[in-house]
């Protein structure tokens, strides 16, 4: 159950404000009695909620009287205070992340061969998006059949968004696919690529008939190989991420001549 404490008030502050709503203008002594806030604490509590702009005081009266601000106004003020705190926290955490990124990325990259795999729709997408986000120089995407990178649903949006982020940070993106695949893609997919990616000079698409497999080559250092589902070739069953410069170089050597012979395409 929600309470004023969820918005930052202490137990005594919440009691005092609720009591003021019932009593109307009243003195600290009377409020202490009604709210069960000890007399020794009531003035500190009233000063605190007055700082939150939840009560108004009548200084001219003797003894001094207090009245509660209307609930909607009071809650809006507490909400704004919380939003401001969260924004400050977010800025603080962003600063910490920026500092740590510089520190952690200064470490020498590990060149040892390493592979990992993800199975299942969510896991494969997470791995693919993660590796695209790690690209610093170039992303090569090869598609011989429809796969999750071209889906019409949220998955396709995630891939396009991550490719757009890569292009924004200066990464070259090359997409090579079979000509037949162009006609298989829904119009919405072409529109999404045109609106989000085509405006970048570093983004290029070509088609070639001798394209096989579906994979992503990242920074000439690792390859994400998409494994089709055995019962549905249009669905990605798993993604294998292999970080091996020698293997990546072999893949690149096979890709380059096909890319040179491929026909440019405007999506």
| CA proximity to 206, closest of 159, 262, 142, 258 | 262
More confident residue, 133 or 186: 133
Domain boundaries, the chain: 4-73, 114-264
Tokens of 266: 């405007």
Percent of the chain past pLDDT 70, that is, above it, reads 89
Instruction: Give me the pLDDT at residue 18, please.
Output: 95
Percent of the chain past pLDDT 90, that is, above it, reads 58
> pLDDT tens across 217-258, in order?
999 999 999 888 788 766 778 899 999 999 999 999 999 999
Average pLDDT, the chain: 87
DSSP designation for 136 = S
- What is the Cα–Cα distance from 60 to 49, expressed in whole angstroms? 19
Instruction: Give me the pLDDT at residue 150, please.
Output: 45
What is the CB neighbour count within 10 angstroms for residue 55? Answer: 21
What is the CB neighbour count within 10 angstroms for residue 219? Answer: 17
> pLDDT tens across 173-213, in order?
999 988 887 777 667 666 777 777 888 889 999 999 888 88
Identify the CATH homologous superfamily for domain 114-264: Endonuclease Chain A (3.30.870.10)
More confident residue, 236 or 64: 64
Starting from the edge strand earliest in sequence, which strands make up the sheet with 138-143, in order?
Answer: 114-119, 232-243, 222-229, 215-218, 138-143, 172-177, 203-207, 263-264
| CA proximity to 34, closest of 7, 60, 62, 68 | 68
> pLDDT tens across 137-172, in order?
999 999 887 654 444 455 667 888 898 899 999 999
Kindly list the distances between the CA atom of residue 128 and the CA atoms of 39, 158, 239, in Å, as whole numbers in the listed order. Answer: 62, 10, 7
| CATH architecture entry for 4-73 | Orthogonal Bundle (1.10)
Instruction: Give me the pLDDT at residue 189, please.
Output: 65
| Helices of type H across 106-178 | 121-133, 154-168
């Amino acid at each position: 159950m929600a309470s004023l404490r969820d918005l930052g008030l202490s137990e005594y502050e919440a009691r005092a404000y609720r009591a003021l709503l019932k009593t109307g203008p009243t003195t600290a002594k009377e409020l202490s009695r009604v709210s069960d806030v000890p007399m020794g604490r009531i003035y500190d509590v009233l000063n605190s909620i007055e700082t939150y702009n939840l009560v108004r005081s009548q200084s001219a009266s003797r003894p001094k009287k207090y009245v509660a601000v209307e609930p909607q106004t009071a809650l809006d003020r507490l909400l704004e205070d919380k939003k401001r705190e969260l924004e400050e926290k977010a800025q603080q955490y962003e600063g910490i992340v920026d500092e740590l990124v510089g520190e952690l990325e200064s470490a020498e990259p590990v060149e040892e061969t390493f592979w990992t795999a993800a199975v299942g729709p969510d896991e494969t997408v997470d791995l693919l998006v993660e590796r695209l986000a790690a690209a610093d120089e170039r992303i090569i995407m090869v598609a011989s059949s429809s796969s999750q990178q071209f889906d019409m649903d949220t998955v396709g949006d995630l891939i396009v968004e991550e490719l757009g982020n890569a292009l924004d940070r200066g990464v070259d993106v090359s997409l090579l696919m079979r000509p037949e695949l162009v006609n298989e893609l829904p119009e919405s997919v072409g529109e999404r690529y045109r609106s989000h990616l085509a405006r970048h000079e570093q983004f290029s698409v070509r088609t070639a008939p001798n394209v096989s497999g579906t994979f992503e080559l990242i920074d000439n250092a690792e390859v994400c190989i998409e494994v089709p589902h055995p019962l549905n070739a249009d669905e990605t069953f798993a993604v294998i991420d292999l970080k091996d410069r020698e293997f990546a170089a072999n893949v690149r050597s096979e890709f380059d001549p096909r890319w040179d012979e491929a026909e440019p395409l405007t999506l």
